[in-house]
Amino acid sequence: MEKTTKILIADDSSFMRKVLRDILAEVGFKSFIECENGNECLEKYKSEKPGLVLLDIIMPEVDGIEVLKQIGKEAKVIVISAVGQDKMIEEAKGHGALDYIVKPFDKKDVLAKVEKVS
Amino acid sequence: MKFTQENLQKAADIGSQRVSEAFSRLSSSDAKVEVSKVETVPLKTALKRVTPPEQYAVAVYSQLLSGVPGASVMVLPREDALALVDLLNKQKIGTTGILKEYDISAIKETLNILSNSYITALSQNAGIEIGVDVPNMISAVRFSELINNIVNKGADKDDTAIVFETQLTITQHKITADLYVLFNKKMVELIKQ
């Protein structure tokens, strides 16, 4: 994936957004947009047109599954969530998620999966 | 699957192991399970059990999303919460003195991850679908009142509750956290169906 790619990080935890931003910044990604709920995620997706979305599932207002239903077919989305149940993973992928990372994650795993998306 | 005490304890042990692994990964330190148990107790006893003992303890809770009243709760002594924040931020222990918004986010996310690790294990071993809502941090003073309201939705005061308890320690830094997953009688009825 090009390091100039704009990445939208959608997670209600400011701590988790920073962790992900730091992991990706370390390998050269520079352009980040952040949001803390599904509504903001949909707004920012439309206005900023990111090349990649890192999406949490359980968020206030609108959750990640609802976001996927709206943008999953067109957007490149990797779900990064604490929810690790097979049913949720299948549902997310069914709505277009390219990959699913369960928290707590390994830094190398995040980088490998982001690089795989092209 | 028969939901005997033995099977529930097995699910609890697997859940605790998963939580320990998650806690180790989050904190980049070795986390050990000190206590792993599951009991069916009167609801009042359960609520008392999850109420933090210290006035300045940190309590984080999430409501369970399964259509059944329940909650996931993590309590830590305040000093341990500050030390945990330092570990999560890869700072020297003792750096954080006051919890700021970002630090609170780190603690809430810890509960989020630990709860889901435990719940995933429960779901897989007991065949129950359960989700965890967004976490909230609350003062110890208001905590028992709020948990009482959450767990009592639709339940009688004399109901029983199933309480899963895990106590974790990061030995190197002497950080202790207690994680509880609490269900009331309605959950028991669903399990037995």
Q: Write a three-state SS string for chain A.
A: CCCCCEEEEECCCHHHHHHHHHHHHHCCCCEEEEECCHHHHHHHHHHHCCCEEEECCCCCCCCHHHHHHHHCCCCCEEEEECCCCHHHHHHHHHCCCCEEEECCCCHHHHHHHHHHCC
Residue B109 has which token pair? 């996310």
Q: Which of B93, B108, B133 is nearest to A15 (CA)?
A: B108
Q: What is the mean pLDDT of residues A32-41?
A: 97
Q: What does the alpha-carbon distance between residue A46 and residue A77 come to, in Å, rounded to a whole number? A: 14
Is any Cβ of chain A less than 8 angstroms from the Cβ of B19?
no
Task: Tell me what ipTM this predicted complex has.
Answer: 0.89
- Give the closest-approach CA distance of B17 to chain A in angstroms: 14
Q: Which of B91, B138, B85, B93 is nearest to B109 (CA)?
A: B85
Is any Cβ of chain B less than 8 angstroms from the Cβ of A60?
yes
pLDDT given for residue B62 in this prediction: 83
Report the range of poorest mean pLDDT among A69-73, A101-105, B61-65: B61-65
Give the nearest chain A residue to B27 (CA atoms).
Answer: A104
Averaged over successive runs of 10 residues, the pLDDT of chain B (193 residues) comes to 71 86 86 86 80 76 75 86 90 92 92 85 76 84 70 65 86 84 64 46
Q: What does the alpha-carbon distance between residue A50 and residue A89 come to, in Å, rounded to a whole number? A: 23
Is any Cβ of chain A less than 8 angstroms from the Cβ of B148?
no
